[in-house]
């Protein structure tokens, strides 16, 4: 069974110490003691981990979404219901991969888009 560690963000950010630093990856943005301890734990014990931020969503460039080929919530619901009825997990396949983006950063000018597509 695959496991995913979800690391909480934190209130202390790199911009608190260096406001002019600009956009940075989430793994470098959070500098609080608790976040750093969680990140070290995730690195030590998990092959897959993400940072969850209520403001900026997930940050992980290797996330794959099995429903990314669906063009709306209705199609996603149908696909999920079909999988439950057939008792077959929805597996991610490269052919169904669509490039998705999330935004990371502190402010509009500091935000940048990163690809969620596997590299």
Q: What is the per-residue pLDDT for 17?
A: 93
Report helix, strand or coil for 105.
Answer: coil
Q: What is the per-residue pLDDT for 99?
A: 33
Report helix, strand or coil for 43.
Answer: helix
Contact (Cβ atoms closer than 8 angstroms) between residue 6 and residue 94: no
The single residue listed with the structure tokens 């950010």 is 13
Domain extents in the chain: 1-61+101-119, 66-99
The CA-based dihedral angle spanning residues 23, 53, 102, 12, taken in that order and rounded to the nearest 10 degrees: 0
Distances (CA, A) of 112 to 11, 24, 83, 108: 20, 8, 35, 8
pLDDT in tens, the chain (119 residues): 688 888 888 889 999 999 999 888 888 999 988 898 899 999 888 898 988 886 766 555 555 567 778 888 888 888 889 888 898 877 765 543 333 333 333 333 333 333 332 22
């Amino acid at each position: 069974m695959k496991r995913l560690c979800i690391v909480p963000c934190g209130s202390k950010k790199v911009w608190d110490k260096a406001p002019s630093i600009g956009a940075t990856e989430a793994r470098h943005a959070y500098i609080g003691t608790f976040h750093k301890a969680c990140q070290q734990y995730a690195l030590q014990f998990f092959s897959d981990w993400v940072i969850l931020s209520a403001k900026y969503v997930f940050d992980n460039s290797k996330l794959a979404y099995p429903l990314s080929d669906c063009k709306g919530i209705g199609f996603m619901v149908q696909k999920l219901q079909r999988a439950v009825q057939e008792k077959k997990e929805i597996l991610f396949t490269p052919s169904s991969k669509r490039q998705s983006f999330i935004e990371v950063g502190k402010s509009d000018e500091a935000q940048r888009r990163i690809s969620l597509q596997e590299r």
